[in-house]
Protein backbone atom coordinates (compact mmCIF):
# COMPACT_ATOMS: atom_id res chain seq x y z
CA UNK A 1 0.00 0.00 0.00
CA UNK A 2 1.34 3.38 -0.90
CA UNK A 3 1.55 6.14 1.70
CA UNK A 4 -1.23 8.74 1.70
CA UNK A 5 -0.70 11.49 -0.83
CA UNK A 6 -2.13 14.96 -0.73
CA UNK A 7 -5.09 15.72 -2.93
CA UNK A 8 -3.68 17.53 -6.00
CA UNK A 9 -3.71 21.29 -5.41
CA UNK A 10 -6.94 22.93 -6.54
CA UNK A 11 -7.23 26.45 -7.98
CA UNK A 12 -6.46 28.52 -4.91
CA UNK A 13 -9.04 30.98 -3.68
CA UNK A 14 -8.16 33.74 -1.28
CA UNK A 15 -9.95 31.85 1.49
CA UNK A 16 -7.86 28.74 0.92
CA UNK A 17 -4.48 30.37 1.16
CA UNK A 18 -4.42 30.64 4.95
CA UNK A 19 -0.87 31.50 5.95
CA UNK A 20 -0.91 34.52 8.27
CA UNK A 21 -2.03 34.04 11.88
CA UNK A 22 -5.44 35.67 12.28
CA UNK A 23 -6.47 37.99 15.08
CA UNK A 24 -8.01 36.13 18.03
CA UNK A 25 -11.72 35.40 18.08
CA UNK A 26 -12.75 37.55 21.04
CA UNK A 27 -15.30 40.03 22.27
CA UNK A 28 -12.91 42.82 21.30
CA UNK A 29 -12.66 41.53 17.74
CA UNK A 30 -16.43 41.20 17.46
CA UNK A 31 -16.80 44.77 18.72
CA UNK A 32 -14.33 45.98 16.11
CA UNK A 33 -16.12 44.07 13.35
CA UNK A 34 -19.51 45.36 14.43
CA UNK A 35 -18.62 49.01 15.03
CA UNK A 36 -15.77 49.66 12.63
CA UNK A 37 -16.12 51.54 9.38
CA UNK A 38 -16.43 48.85 6.70
CA UNK A 39 -14.70 49.42 3.36
CA UNK A 40 -14.99 46.94 0.47
CA UNK A 41 -11.92 46.40 -1.72
CA UNK A 42 -12.86 43.50 -3.96
CA UNK A 43 -14.94 40.44 -4.65
CA UNK A 44 -13.63 36.91 -4.08
CA UNK A 45 -13.67 34.81 -7.22
CA UNK A 46 -15.36 31.41 -7.57
CA UNK A 47 -18.04 32.08 -4.95
CA UNK A 48 -21.65 31.34 -5.82
CA UNK A 49 -22.83 34.20 -3.62
CA UNK A 50 -21.39 37.67 -3.19
CA UNK A 51 -18.26 37.32 -1.03
CA UNK A 52 -16.50 40.63 -0.63
CA UNK A 53 -13.04 41.31 0.75
CA UNK A 54 -12.54 44.49 2.76
CA UNK A 55 -11.43 45.90 6.06
CA UNK A 56 -12.93 47.46 9.15
CA UNK A 57 -11.35 50.38 11.00
CA UNK A 58 -12.22 51.41 14.55
CA UNK A 59 -10.36 53.64 16.99
CA UNK A 60 -7.12 53.42 15.05
CA UNK A 61 -7.24 49.64 14.54
CA UNK A 62 -7.70 48.19 11.04
CA UNK A 63 -8.29 44.52 10.29
CA UNK A 64 -9.10 42.66 7.05
CA UNK A 65 -12.50 41.03 6.80
CA UNK A 66 -14.96 39.08 4.67
CA UNK A 67 -18.34 40.73 4.06
CA UNK A 68 -21.23 38.68 2.66
CA UNK A 69 -24.30 40.88 2.10
CA UNK A 70 -27.71 39.26 2.22
CA UNK A 71 -28.55 41.13 -0.99
CA UNK A 72 -25.91 39.05 -2.80
CA UNK A 73 -27.24 35.65 -1.68
CA UNK A 74 -28.85 33.15 -4.03
CA UNK A 75 -31.92 31.65 -2.30
CA UNK A 76 -31.77 27.93 -1.47
CA UNK A 77 -34.95 25.95 -2.08
CA UNK A 78 -34.46 23.76 0.99
CA UNK A 79 -33.64 26.71 3.30
CA UNK A 80 -36.75 28.86 2.85
CA UNK A 81 -36.39 30.66 6.18
CA UNK A 82 -33.79 33.20 7.16
CA UNK A 83 -30.57 33.88 5.27
CA UNK A 84 -27.03 32.58 4.94
CA UNK A 85 -25.51 35.53 6.80
CA UNK A 86 -27.58 34.88 9.92
CA UNK A 87 -26.71 31.18 9.91
CA UNK A 88 -23.00 31.96 9.54
CA UNK A 89 -23.26 34.28 12.53
CA UNK A 90 -25.18 31.69 14.54
CA UNK A 91 -22.49 29.10 13.75
CA UNK A 92 -19.87 31.42 15.22
CA UNK A 93 -21.99 31.92 18.34
CA UNK A 94 -22.10 28.14 18.86
CA UNK A 95 -18.37 27.79 18.19
CA UNK A 96 -17.68 30.50 20.75
CA UNK A 97 -19.69 28.63 23.39
CA UNK A 98 -17.58 25.50 22.88
CA UNK A 99 -14.37 27.37 23.68
CA UNK A 100 -12.69 25.69 20.72
CA UNK A 101 -12.62 28.89 18.61
CA UNK A 102 -12.86 26.97 15.34
CA UNK A 103 -14.72 29.71 13.45
CA UNK A 104 -13.27 33.21 12.96
CA UNK A 105 -14.99 36.07 14.79
CA UNK A 106 -18.26 36.82 12.96
CA UNK A 107 -20.98 39.44 13.35
CA UNK A 108 -24.16 40.47 11.55
CA UNK A 109 -24.09 44.16 10.65
CA UNK A 110 -24.98 46.82 8.14
CA UNK A 111 -22.50 47.51 5.35
CA UNK A 112 -22.12 49.28 2.02
CA UNK A 113 -24.51 46.78 0.39
CA UNK A 114 -26.90 46.31 3.26
CA UNK A 115 -27.08 43.85 6.12
CA UNK A 116 -24.60 41.02 5.91
CA UNK A 117 -22.13 38.78 7.66
CA UNK A 118 -18.77 40.32 8.53
CA UNK A 119 -16.01 37.90 9.53
CA UNK A 120 -12.35 38.28 10.46
CA UNK A 121 -10.22 37.44 7.43
CA UNK A 122 -7.96 34.39 7.67
CA UNK A 123 -4.75 34.39 5.65
CA UNK A 124 -3.02 36.88 3.37
CA UNK A 125 -5.20 39.40 1.54
CA UNK A 126 -5.97 38.78 -2.13
CA UNK A 127 -4.43 40.83 -4.87
CA UNK A 128 -1.18 39.29 -6.03
CA UNK A 129 2.36 38.66 -4.77
CA UNK A 130 2.78 42.13 -3.22
CA UNK A 131 -0.47 41.99 -1.26
CA UNK A 132 1.10 40.74 1.96
CA UNK A 133 3.54 43.63 2.09
CA UNK A 134 0.89 46.18 1.17
CA UNK A 135 -1.57 44.89 3.77
CA UNK A 136 -4.66 45.46 1.62
CA UNK A 137 -5.45 45.48 -2.08
CA UNK A 138 -6.20 48.64 -3.93
CA UNK A 139 -9.85 49.73 -4.04
CA UNK A 140 -11.34 48.67 -7.34
CA UNK A 141 -14.32 51.01 -7.17
CA UNK A 142 -18.03 50.39 -6.61
CA UNK A 143 -20.34 48.77 -9.12
CA UNK A 144 -24.10 48.71 -9.45
CA UNK A 145 -25.22 45.85 -7.22
CA UNK A 146 -24.12 43.48 -4.47
CA UNK A 147 -23.87 40.54 -6.88
CA UNK A 148 -21.13 42.41 -8.79
CA UNK A 149 -20.22 44.88 -6.09
CA UNK A 150 -16.54 45.12 -6.96
CA UNK A 151 -14.19 43.75 -9.58
CA UNK A 152 -12.90 40.29 -8.74
CA UNK A 153 -9.92 40.26 -6.40
CA UNK A 154 -7.21 37.89 -7.56
CA UNK A 155 -6.11 35.18 -5.17
CA UNK A 156 -2.46 34.92 -4.16
CA UNK A 157 -0.41 32.21 -5.84
CA UNK A 158 -0.03 29.93 -2.82
CA UNK A 159 -1.05 26.54 -1.51
CA UNK A 160 -2.11 26.19 2.10
CA UNK A 161 -0.59 22.71 2.15
CA UNK A 162 2.84 24.31 1.98
CA UNK A 163 2.40 25.83 5.43
CA UNK A 164 0.67 23.12 7.47
CA UNK A 165 0.51 19.32 7.49
CA UNK A 166 -2.04 17.94 5.04
CA UNK A 167 -5.46 17.19 6.49
CA UNK A 168 -6.93 15.36 3.47
CA UNK A 169 -5.43 12.77 1.15
CA UNK A 170 -6.19 10.15 -1.48
CA UNK A 171 -4.85 6.65 -0.86
CA UNK A 172 -4.19 4.02 -3.52
CA UNK A 173 -5.46 1.08 -1.47
CA UNK A 174 -8.11 -0.04 0.97
CA UNK A 175 -6.54 1.04 4.26
CA UNK A 176 -6.08 4.64 5.41
CA UNK A 177 -2.67 4.13 6.97
CA UNK A 178 -1.41 5.14 10.39
CA UNK A 179 -2.56 8.59 11.47
CA UNK A 180 -5.42 8.73 8.95
CA UNK A 181 -9.15 7.96 9.03
CA UNK A 182 -11.08 6.60 6.05
CA UNK A 183 -13.98 8.63 4.64
CA UNK A 184 -14.99 6.73 1.48
CA UNK A 185 -14.00 5.96 -2.08
CA UNK A 186 -13.66 8.67 -4.72
CA UNK A 187 -13.75 8.26 -8.48
CA UNK A 188 -10.60 9.97 -9.75
CA UNK A 189 -10.73 8.55 -13.26
CA UNK A 190 -8.21 5.78 -12.61
CA UNK A 191 -8.66 2.01 -12.94
CA UNK A 192 -10.13 1.86 -9.46
CA UNK A 193 -11.49 4.43 -6.98
CA UNK A 194 -9.08 6.05 -4.56
CA UNK A 195 -9.73 6.03 -0.83
CA UNK A 196 -10.43 9.50 0.56
CA UNK A 197 -8.96 9.94 4.04
CA UNK A 198 -8.55 12.72 6.58
CA UNK A 199 -5.97 13.14 9.32
CA UNK A 200 -6.68 11.59 12.73
CA UNK A 201 -6.29 15.05 14.18
CA UNK A 202 -7.89 16.28 17.44
CA UNK A 203 -8.69 19.63 15.84
CA UNK A 204 -10.64 17.92 13.07
CA UNK A 205 -12.37 15.72 15.63
CA UNK A 206 -13.58 18.79 17.50
CA UNK A 207 -14.79 20.23 14.21
CA UNK A 208 -16.67 17.00 13.46
CA UNK A 209 -18.54 17.43 16.75
CA UNK A 210 -19.25 21.09 16.04
CA UNK A 211 -20.52 20.25 12.56
CA UNK A 212 -22.87 17.64 14.04
CA UNK A 213 -24.32 20.30 16.34
CA UNK A 214 -24.61 22.80 13.49
CA UNK A 215 -26.01 20.16 11.11
CA UNK A 216 -23.51 21.38 8.53
CA UNK A 217 -24.62 20.40 5.04
CA UNK A 218 -21.39 21.35 3.25
CA UNK A 219 -18.13 20.63 5.07
CA UNK A 220 -15.53 20.60 2.28
CA UNK A 221 -11.76 20.53 2.35
CA UNK A 222 -11.50 24.08 1.04
CA UNK A 223 -13.29 25.30 4.17
CA UNK A 224 -10.44 24.12 6.43
CA UNK A 225 -7.74 26.69 7.17
CA UNK A 226 -4.86 25.21 9.22
CA UNK A 227 -2.43 27.84 10.45
CA UNK A 228 1.35 27.64 10.96
CA UNK A 229 0.91 28.17 14.70
CA UNK A 230 -1.24 25.05 15.00
CA UNK A 231 -4.65 26.69 14.98
CA UNK A 232 -7.38 25.38 12.72
CA UNK A 233 -10.19 27.60 11.46
CA UNK A 234 -13.25 26.62 9.47
CA UNK A 235 -15.30 28.90 7.23
CA UNK A 236 -18.49 28.92 5.11
CA UNK A 237 -21.35 27.96 7.42
CA UNK A 238 -24.35 29.25 5.51
CA UNK A 239 -25.78 25.77 4.88
CA UNK A 240 -26.38 24.87 8.52
CA UNK A 241 -29.10 24.56 11.18
CA UNK A 242 -31.70 22.78 9.07
CA UNK A 243 -34.35 21.03 11.17
CA UNK A 244 -33.88 17.83 9.13
CA UNK A 245 -30.67 15.80 9.11
CA UNK A 246 -28.51 17.41 6.40
CA UNK A 247 -25.04 16.52 7.67
CA UNK A 248 -22.65 16.26 4.70
CA UNK A 249 -18.98 16.26 5.54
CA UNK A 250 -15.53 14.94 4.76
CA UNK A 251 -15.02 14.22 8.47
CA UNK A 252 -16.80 10.86 8.77
CA UNK A 253 -13.66 9.08 10.00
CA UNK A 254 -14.96 8.89 13.58
CA UNK A 255 -18.55 7.93 12.63
CA UNK A 256 -20.00 5.67 15.31
CA UNK A 257 -16.98 6.01 17.61
CA UNK A 258 -17.27 7.14 21.21
CA UNK A 259 -17.01 10.86 21.79
CA UNK A 260 -13.96 12.06 23.68
CA UNK A 261 -14.35 13.13 27.31
CA UNK A 262 -13.57 16.67 26.18
CA UNK A 263 -16.41 16.61 23.64
CA UNK A 264 -18.81 15.29 26.26
CA UNK A 265 -17.90 18.12 28.62
CA UNK A 266 -18.34 20.71 25.86
CA UNK A 267 -21.73 19.30 24.88
CA UNK A 268 -22.90 19.54 28.49
CA UNK A 269 -21.86 23.19 28.52
CA UNK A 270 -23.79 23.72 25.28
CA UNK A 271 -26.87 22.01 26.67
CA UNK A 272 -26.91 24.36 29.65
CA UNK A 273 -26.17 27.49 27.62
CA UNK A 274 -28.91 26.72 25.08
CA UNK A 275 -31.63 26.01 27.63
CA UNK A 276 -34.75 28.06 27.04
CA UNK A 277 -34.40 31.57 28.41
CA UNK A 278 -30.60 31.51 28.63
CA UNK A 279 -28.74 34.40 26.99
CA UNK A 280 -27.18 32.20 24.29
CA UNK A 281 -30.56 30.71 23.39
CA UNK A 282 -32.09 34.18 23.16
CA UNK A 283 -29.24 35.27 20.88
CA UNK A 284 -29.74 32.26 18.61
CA UNK A 285 -33.44 33.08 18.48
CA UNK A 286 -32.52 36.43 16.94
CA UNK A 287 -30.67 34.66 14.11
CA UNK A 288 -32.65 31.44 13.56
CA UNK A 289 -36.26 30.29 13.67
CA UNK A 290 -37.66 28.83 16.89
CA UNK A 291 -37.79 25.40 15.23
CA UNK A 292 -34.12 25.63 14.24
CA UNK A 293 -33.07 26.59 17.77
CA UNK A 294 -35.08 23.69 19.18
CA UNK A 295 -33.41 21.37 16.66
CA UNK A 296 -29.98 22.48 17.91
CA UNK A 297 -30.99 21.53 21.46
CA UNK A 298 -32.20 18.13 20.24
CA UNK A 299 -28.97 17.44 18.35
CA UNK A 300 -26.91 18.28 21.44
CA UNK A 301 -29.15 16.03 23.52
CA UNK A 302 -28.85 13.18 21.04
CA UNK A 303 -25.06 13.40 21.01
CA UNK A 304 -24.99 13.36 24.81
CA UNK A 305 -27.38 10.44 25.12
CA UNK A 306 -25.61 8.33 22.49
CA UNK A 307 -22.11 9.32 23.54
CA UNK A 308 -20.97 8.70 19.97
CA UNK A 309 -20.19 10.55 16.77
CA UNK A 310 -23.20 10.40 14.43
CA UNK A 311 -23.51 8.02 11.50
CA UNK A 312 -24.70 9.07 8.03
CA UNK A 313 -28.50 9.01 7.94
CA UNK A 314 -28.73 7.36 4.53
CA UNK A 315 -31.41 9.86 3.57
CA UNK A 316 -29.02 12.49 2.23
CA UNK A 317 -25.69 12.28 0.37
CA UNK A 318 -23.14 11.94 3.15
CA UNK A 319 -20.15 13.45 1.36
CA UNK A 320 -20.16 16.81 -0.46
CA UNK A 321 -18.81 16.76 -3.99
CA UNK A 322 -16.43 18.00 -5.16
CA UNK A 323 -14.71 17.49 -1.79
CA UNK A 324 -12.75 20.73 -2.02
Q: In the prediction, which pLDDT does 75 show? A: 78
Cα separation, 219 vs 312, in Å, equals 14
CA 65/CA 2 separation, integer angstroms: 41
User: How many angstroms separate the Cα of 267 from the Cα of each of 84, 97, 118, 209, 301?
Assistant: 25, 10, 27, 9, 8
Q: Do the Cβ atoms of 64 and 57 come closer than 8 Å?
A: no
Q: Which residues are 184's β-sheet partners?
A: 196
- Other Cβ atoms closer than 10 A to 245: 17
* Beta-carbon contacts of residue 218 (< 8 Å; ≥ 6 apart): 236, 239, 248, 320
According to the model, what pLDDT value does residue 29 have? 92
pLDDT of residue 81: 81
Residue 322, preceding peptide bond in cis (omega within 30° of 0): yes
What is the DSSP secondary structure assignment for residue 13, as one 8-state letter? P
Residue among 42, 47, 29, 207 nearest 118 (CA): 29
pLDDT at 191: 72
- pLDDT tens-digit profile, the chain (324 residues): 344 444 333 322 333 333 333 444 468 899 999 999 999 999 987 677 899 999 999 999 999 999 999 999 887 777 778 899 999 999 999 999 999 999 999 999 999 999 999 999 998 777 654 344 333 333 444 334 444 444 444 433 333 333 335 899 888 888 999 999 999 887 777 677 889 999 999 999 999 999 999 999 999 998 999 988 889 999 999 999 999 999 999 999 999 999 999 999 999 999 999 999 999 999 999 999 999 999 999 999 999 999 999 999 887 778 887 666
Distance, in Å, from the CA atom of 169 to the CA atom of 150, rounded to the nearest integer, reads 35
Contact 55, 39 (CB under 8 A): yes
pLDDT at res. 127 = 60
Determine the pLDDT at residue 323: 66
- Three-state secondary-structure class, residue 312: coil
Long-range contacts of 278-284 (CB under 8 A, 24+ apart): 280/93, 280/97, 283/93, 284/90, 284/93, 284/94
Amino acid sequence: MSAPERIPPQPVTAHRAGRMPPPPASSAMCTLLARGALTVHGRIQQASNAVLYGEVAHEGVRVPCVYKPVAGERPLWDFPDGDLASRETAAYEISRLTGWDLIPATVLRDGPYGTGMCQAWIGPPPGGPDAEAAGVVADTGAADDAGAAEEDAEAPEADAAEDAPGLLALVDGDEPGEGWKAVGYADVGADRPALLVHADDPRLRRLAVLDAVLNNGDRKGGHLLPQPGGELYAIDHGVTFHVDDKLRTLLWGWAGEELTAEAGAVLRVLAGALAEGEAAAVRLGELLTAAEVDAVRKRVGTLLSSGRHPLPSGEWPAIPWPPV
